[in-house]
Amino acid sequence: MIEIKLVVNDKPYTLEVEPSERLIDALRNRLGLLGTKEGCGEGECGACTVIMDGKTVNSCLVLAAQANGSVITSIEGVGNRRSPHPVQKAFVEVGAVQCGFCTPGMVLSAKNLLDKNSKPSNEEIGIAMSGNLCRCTGYDKILRAVKIAAEEGKE
């Protein structure tokens, strides 16, 4: 076992993890943060996206030990029912969620884009969201929601 220290959603944790343990397993099984979803488990679908030190990563491709010393934001740290993040609010408003499995990853990719670029172009939004696959929505309403969240952030 390896001891790691990391900050998840503004809370510091010290965890004992297996050498082969993935970050998604540490988040879901050790911290009970079940909002991070495992889709393909091989870094293709983006469902398990979290923000690690200001970058979006597929948490299925990061070993927990590699996250030692890092600052992580998972979907639980973005907002909640009472005070949703502007991205979450826009997703609900336009109906950008269907089955919901890709949604946590989508929200984190959008949040990270807007954190860095408050006025993204349509192309920049498309590129930022292209690592997150969705089979239900056709992306149409998701892209619209990100645009609305960006507009609201500007005001």
- In whole angstroms, the minimum distance from the beta carbon of 18 to other proteins comes to 25
DSSP track, 56-81: EEETTSSBGGGGTT-EEE-GGGT--S
Q: Does 129 bind other proteins (CB under 8 A)?
A: yes
**Rounded Cα–Cα distance for residues 1 and 153 (Å):** 43
Q: Does 135 bind other proteins (CB under 8 A)?
A: yes
Q: Does 149 bind other proteins (CB under 8 A)?
A: no
The conformation of residue 27, written as its DSSP 8-state character, comes to I
**Rounded Cα–Cα distance for residues 130 and 109 (Å):** 9
Q: Does 59 bind other proteins (CB under 8 A)?
A: no
Q: Does 126 bind other proteins (CB under 8 A)?
A: yes
Place of tokens 């600052």: 71
List the interface residues with other proteins, window 65-104 (CB under 8 A).
94-95, 97-100
Q: Are 13 and 72 in contact (CB under 8 A)?
A: no
Q: Which is nearer to other proteins, 17 or 75 (CB)?
A: 75
Q: Which chain residues interact with other proteins by CB under 8 A?
A: 40, 42, 44-45, 94-95, 97-100, 125-127, 129-133, 135-143
